């Protein structure tokens, strides 16, 4: 049996799980692993400029591909720089694996002043990790990595953390490492295991829907694969049911499908439509704050909720039947159960959907914000990966951006994180080099992560970053206008973004004519390396003076 260092075991364990790319920054505690990277060029390492970008890029990689995104950071400040990004992935249920080093046990929690000393690094990550493990010995590394991947592939995919004592990387063991492609156990790489469907609850759910006259479907981020969207569409069309998709659920059914209501749950016509339904089928959604108007939306008393996380069943609204499982398998089983009951497809209620949307369109009109978004949508191929920050135009996009495919629209909906879009778009383009990747971001938010434009330059990642520049925190400015009639702390002087892009070695363009935004994006789709496009504007916020009462 060969003697192996823990660093070698870690790299070989990652390869065994199918990892071919990870994001990180080296530190004194992780240099042994970085030395092993030299021997394994098949594992590509992306050197980011700030640790939070390592997690954001892994997050974008995971959202775009459905694979686990992997990040590697050193302990102390390197580790703690990732907390915001970890919380973003945690809130949005993204499968990110964070590998992090830690000081030796003999100095940990002793207050001796060791380098990068902190009393409980592992504990700090508890609120933002769905799975966490500590490794003290090199022999423990393969199992820890394998277990983390198993959790990420089979549970609600919140981030996993594996913390390694520094000496675990340099210590030698004769334990056998998994061969690349063989995984860390006799079973091979951590496999995806489907939840068994509860047959009794499945029959109850089918009975409810079979007896429904005015069903409604609510689809969230859990409907995020082609298999799940196909299964959802089968059920939606069988029920003839109007369907609402959340932000993370965009693309669960085609945007122009006659039964798709869109992302309009807070507009009064949609609230009226919801109030008139007798059974609601909710799939892969937890009814969180924004789509329910701060839980002011009145839902029917009879709800069937499907979710992979049993803790989310009935958390925010009481449900009559809860089914735990993945969307694709559970919806397929539900459709088959309806067949077994002799359920006949109901007439489509597309006329109600069309009437509802017409009311909204008449009230909202086509302001300049929607015109710009329509240009962008027309310029981009349907498979484009679109990331956004909580910037003013993105709040319009959340309702008006149309997509026909899952995993093409990405928003930090749970945590509302500024700076997310730029690094996430870079990670996504690395995951999906076949698809354009674009970040919609504001001039204030982009400064949180602008340094990682240099990462895209170094790696020649052709991500497009569209900076909507209103010289400050535009969303908060609009809130202050509405609430107080005066401003404080929201007007921020931006840099010369075109010059800044050029300083990084990226392409930089400025579009002063809002009618040219789409054409400008179309002109750089085939460009090599990243492009930053600055769009000066004074857009209004859709939250005030809009059609809805929320």
**Secondary structure (3-state) at 36:** helix
Q: How far is Cα of residue 218 from the mean position of the Cα atoms in its chain?
A: 19
209 pLDDT higher than 70: yes
User: What is the rounded distance in angstroms from the CA atom of residue 242 to the CA atom of residue 280?
Assistant: 10
Following DSSP, what letter does each residue of 457-503 receive, concatenated? HHHT---EEEEEE-SB-HHHHHHHHHHTSS-SS-B-----HHHHHHH
pLDDT band at 545 (very low <50, low <70, confident <90, very high): very low
Residue with the two structure tokens 């000081």:
103
Provide the 3-class DSSP secondary structure of residue 528: coil
Q: Name the pLDDT band for 293 (thresholds 50, 70, 90).
A: confident
The two three-digit tokens of residue 475, written as one number? 């969303």
Alpha-carbon gap, residue 491 to 473, rounded angstroms? 7
**pLDDT tops 90 at residue 178:** no
For the stretch 468-511, pLDDT in tens is 999 999 999 988 988 899 999 999 999 999 999 999 999 999 99
Q: Which pLDDT score, from 0 to 100, does residue 294 have? A: 85
**DSSP line for 198-267:** -HHHHHHHHHHHHT-SSEEEEE-TT--SHHHHHHHHHHHHHHT--EEE-STTTTSS-TT-TTEEES-TTS
Q: Which residues make up the CATH 3.40.50.1220 domain(s) of the chain? A: 199-357
**What mean pLDDT is predicted for residues 447-464?**
98
Q: What is the pLDDT of residue 265?
A: 78
Predicted confidence at residue 338, as pLDDT, reads 97
Contact status, residue 499 vs residue 481, Cβ threshold 8 Å: no
User: Which residues belong to CATH 3.40.50.970 in the chain?
Assistant: 4-173, 365-536
Fold of 365-536: Rossmann fold (3.40.50)
Q: What class has domain 4-173? A: alpha beta
Task: Provide the pLDDT confidence category of residue 381 given band limits of 50, 70 and 90.
Answer: very high
Q: Is the Cβ–Cβ distance between 429 and 442 less than 8 Å? A: no
pLDDT at 38 over 80: yes
* Range 336-368 burial, b when 16+ CB lie within 10 A, else e: ebbeeeebeebebbeebbeebbebbeeebeeee
- Span 206-229, mean pLDDT? 95
Whether 153 has a pLDDT exceeding 90, the answer reads yes
- pLDDT, tens digit, for every residue of 395-412? 999 889 999 999 999 999
d(CA 341, CA 110): 65
CB 1 within 8 A of CB 174: yes
- The pLDDT tens digits for 48-76 are 999 999 999 999 999 999 999 999 999 99
Element (DSSP H or E) covering residue 129: none
- pLDDT tens digits, one per residue of 78-104: 999 999 999 999 999 999 999 999 987
pLDDT of the residue at 161: 98
Q: What is the pLDDT of residue 546?
A: 44
Q: Which fold has domain 199-357?
A: Rossmann fold (3.40.50)
The rounded mean pLDDT for the chain is 92
For residues 452 and 426, the answer to whether their CB atoms sit within 8 Å is yes
User: Does 181 score more than 50 pLDDT?
Assistant: no
pLDDT over 90 at 107, yes or no: no
pLDDT at 363: 87
């Amino acid at each position: 049996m060969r003697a192996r260092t823990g660093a070698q075991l870690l790299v070989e364990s990652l390869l065994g799980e199918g990892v071919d790319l990870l994001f990180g920054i080296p530190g004194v505690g992780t240099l042994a692993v970085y030395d092993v990277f030299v021997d394994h060029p098949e594992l590509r390492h992306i050197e980011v400029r700030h640790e939070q970008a390592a997690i954001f890029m892994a997050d974008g990689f995971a959202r775009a591909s459905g694979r686990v995104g992997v990040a590697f950071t050193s302990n102390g400040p390197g580790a703690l720089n990732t907390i915001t990004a970890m919380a973003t992935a945690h809130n949005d249920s993204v499968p990110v694996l964070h590998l992090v080093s830690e000081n030796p046990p003999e100095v940990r929690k002793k207050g001796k002043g060791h380098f990068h000393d902190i009393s409980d690094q592992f504990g700090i990550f508890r609120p933002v990790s769905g799975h966490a493990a500590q490794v003290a010995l090199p022999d423990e590394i393969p199992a820890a990595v394998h277990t983390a991947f198993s959790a990420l592939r089979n549970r609600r995919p919140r981030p996993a953390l594996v913390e390694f004592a520094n000496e675990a990387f340099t210590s030698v063991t004769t334990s056998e490492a998994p061969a690349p492609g063989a995984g860390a156990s006799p079973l091979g790489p951590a496999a995806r295991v489907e939840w068994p469907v509860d047959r009794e609850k499945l029959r109850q759910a089918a009975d409810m829907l079979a007896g429904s006259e005015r069903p409604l479907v609510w689809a969230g981020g859990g409907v995020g694969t082609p298999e799940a969207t196909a299964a959802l569409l089968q059920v939606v069309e069988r029920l003839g049911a109007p369907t609402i998709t959340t932000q993370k659920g965009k693309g669960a059914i085609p945007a122009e499908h006659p039964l798709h209501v869109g992302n309009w749950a807070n507009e009064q016509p949609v609230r009226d439509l919801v109030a008139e339904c007798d059974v609601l089928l909710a799939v892969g959604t937890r009814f969180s704050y924004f789509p329910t108007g701060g839980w002011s939306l009145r839902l029917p008393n009879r709800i069937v909720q499907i979710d992979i996380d049993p803790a989310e069943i009935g958390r925010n609204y009481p449900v009559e039947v809860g089914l735990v499982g993945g969307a694709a398998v559970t919806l397929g089983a539900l459709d088959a159960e309806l067949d077994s009951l002799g359920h006949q497809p109901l007439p489509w209620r597309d006329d109600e959907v069309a009437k509802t949307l017409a009311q909204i369109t008449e009230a909202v009109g086509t302001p300049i914000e929607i015109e710009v978004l329509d240009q962008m949508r027309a310029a981009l191929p349907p498979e484009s990966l679109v990331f956004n920050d909580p910037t003013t135009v993105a709040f319009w996009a959340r309702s008006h951006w149309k997509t026909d495919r899952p995993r093409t629209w990405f928003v930090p909906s749970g945590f509302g994180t500024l700076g997310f879009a730029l690094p996430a778009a870079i990670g996504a383009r690395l995951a999906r080099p076949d698809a354009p990747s674009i970040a919609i971001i504001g001039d204030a938010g982009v400064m949180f992560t602008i340094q990682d434009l240099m990462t895209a330059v170094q790696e020649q990642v052709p991500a497009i970053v569209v900076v909507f520049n209103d010289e400050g925190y535009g969303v908060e400015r609009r809130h202050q206008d509405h609430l107080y009639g005066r401003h404080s702390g929201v007007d921020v002087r931006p840099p010369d973004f075109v010059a800044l892009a050029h300083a990084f070695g990226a392409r930089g363009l400025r579009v002063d004519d809002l009618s040219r935004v789409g054409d400008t994006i179309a002109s750089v789709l085939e460009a090599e390396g990243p492009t930053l496009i600055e769009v000066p504007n004074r857009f209004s916020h859709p939250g005030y003076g809009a059609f809805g009462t929320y």
